[in-house]
Amino acid sequence: MVIYTGRLEECREFYTSLGLEFEAEQHGDGPPHYAAVLHDGLVIELYPGGPERRTGALRLAFEVDGLSGGAPGRQVLRDPDGRPVEVLVRE
């Protein structure tokens, strides 16, 4: 899954706070970006947006083990680009 953003570092920090672990990457002459590999092999990448890479509407959902300062249950947060991110926090 690729998420294009005009706020690359802010989005990396936001999704890292949900438990994703990103590594910096760059393939050939492509743009520097971040990638996180989930336990099931799904790769989530954060790429810089631009005229050819729009940051269109998207809704994501994650289930996570406790967040610091977060109460268990369902929350809808907004990432730095304003996309809704549904988070189910397990105890």
CATH of the domain at 7: 3.10.180.10
What is residue 37's predicted lDDT score, i.e. its pLDDT?
96
What is residue 28's predicted lDDT score, i.e. its pLDDT?
95
What is residue 75's predicted lDDT score, i.e. its pLDDT?
87
> Quick one: pLDDT band at residue 89, thresholds 50, 70, 90?
confident
Q: Looking at the 3D structure of the chain, how many domains does it have?
A: 1
Rounded alpha-carbon distances, angstroms, from residue 53 to 4, 48, 73, 77, 84:
6, 8, 34, 23, 19
Domain with 46, as residue range(s), is 2-90
> Quick one: pLDDT band at residue 69, thresholds 50, 70, 90?
low
> Quick one: pLDDT band at residue 59, thresholds 50, 70, 90?
confident
Strands 43-48 and 2-5: parallel
